[in-house]
Amino acid sequence: MRSTALILPLLLAAAPVLAQPAPSPAPAAPPAAQPPVSQPQASQGQAAANPVVARIDQEELRLSDVQAAIAELPPELRGAPGPMLFPLVLDQLIAQKALVAAARSQGLDRDEAVRSAIRRAEEEQLQQALLRREIAPALTEEALRARYQKEIAGKPGEEEVHARHILTATEAEARAALAELRKPGADFAAVAKQRSTGPGTQQGGDLGFFKKSDMVPEFADAAFGLKAGEVSREPVKSPFGWHVIKVEARRMAPAPSFEDSAESLRQAAFEEAVNDAVERVQAKARIERFNMDGSPRTEAPAPSLLDGAAPPAAQPRR
């Protein structure tokens, strides 16, 4: 007997093989013309299109159940040949149905802890379904492009600098590099190749262009504080060691394209739409809050411009 507990792990392990696209079936011959059928005959036709593929204690599994389970598999498995995938998924569904039937026969469906967990799962699915419906308009390509035009397109890009650096383990080594750079005719790239231990050493310490947010704050503040052609006057300490920095050039980067911004736009739109949906739904609900002991909670009064104001001093009678 096949071990159903191993079916899904085996599916995942077999992903590279199963992911090969299934051969296209030969086109079926058109059906012969049939005389008009009554409603019972139509129902029989529907059943034939969605046949029973297994029966567990009188509960039926239909082809559509297997197809729905396959649709939930990872993409690399969904394209597997049907004759290979179908029996594995069917066995998994049979095992699940048998377990559910056994649990019900033992009264577990009436266990309060189980019922509570089922209620929580149902509520979670309802929440997710509502939120998906509410936020869908904000995540269309048209909506994301409109957001791009409003927030990014046509605006100046972020400033970038092109810098080199010499990274050393100690401040003394960094100061020695600085002293060498101050000699007439010193070449920063040559000194970096000789003394630096950091990224880009073989390229003369070249880090290329970068934005301020790309670097740790200590390094970024020092680099963006230099003009093109300047070398830092003092070694700069960062979590990586001691740096001597030279800025080669500064520029304003072009605004990112829609394609480059799409993921961040989608994430921002998603978070905004979820928050708006939750606030909108809560605003329509009648909500009462209570203390931990169940007693009514006394809401603090709204702040006033007069809070903390002293009354005017009494005026003497004339």
Do 127 and 82 share a structural domain?
no
pLDDT higher than threshold 60 for residue 276: yes
- The structure's pTM equals 0.55
When pLDDT is cut at 50, 70 and 90, the band that residue 14 belongs to is very low
What's the pLDDT at 87? 94
Q: Tokens for 254, please give them.
A: 């072009």
Summarize the confidence of residues 75-80 as an average pLDDT. 87
Do 143 and 58 share a structural domain?
no
- The reply to whether 11 falls in a domain is no
- The reply to whether 318 falls in a domain is no
Any idea which residue has 């209620």 for tokens?
119
Do 233 and 196 share a structural domain?
yes
What's the pLDDT at 6? 39
Summarize the confidence of residues 181-193 as an average pLDDT. 95
Do 169 and 131 share a structural domain?
no
- The reply to whether 316 falls in a domain is no
Do 138 and 171 share a structural domain?
no
- The reply to whether 37 falls in a domain is no
Share of the chain above pLDDT 90, in %: 68
Rounded Cα gap, residues 186 and 270, in angstroms:
53
Do 204 and 74 share a structural domain?
no
pLDDT higher than threshold 50 for residue 298: yes
Residue 135: give the domain boundaries: 118-155+260-285
What's the pLDDT at 13? 41
Summarize the confidence of residues 231-236 as an average pLDDT. 96
When pLDDT is cut at 50, 70 and 90, the band that residue 15 belongs to is very low
Domain termination site, one of 234, 252, 270: 252
pLDDT higher than threshold 90 for residue 25: no
pLDDT higher than threshold 90 for residue 11: no
Do 248 and 226 share a structural domain?
yes
Number of domains in the chain: 3
pLDDT tens-digit series, residues 131-152: 999 999 999 999 999 999 999 8
Calculate the average pLDDT of the chain: 84
- The reply to whether 127 falls in a domain is yes
When pLDDT is cut at 50, 70 and 90, the band that residue 50 belongs to is very high
What's the pLDDT at 315? 58
- The reply to whether 134 falls in a domain is yes
What's the pLDDT at 80? 86
When pLDDT is cut at 50, 70 and 90, the band that residue 167 belongs to is very high
- The reply to whether 164 falls in a domain is yes
pLDDT higher than threshold 70 for residue 245: yes
- The reply to whether 38 falls in a domain is no
Do 242 and 174 share a structural domain?
yes
Do 235 and 168 share a structural domain?
yes
Do 147 and 73 share a structural domain?
no
For residue 245, give the CATH number of its domain: 3.10.50.40
What's the pLDDT at 318? 53
Do 212 and 73 share a structural domain?
no
Do 233 and 102 share a structural domain?
no
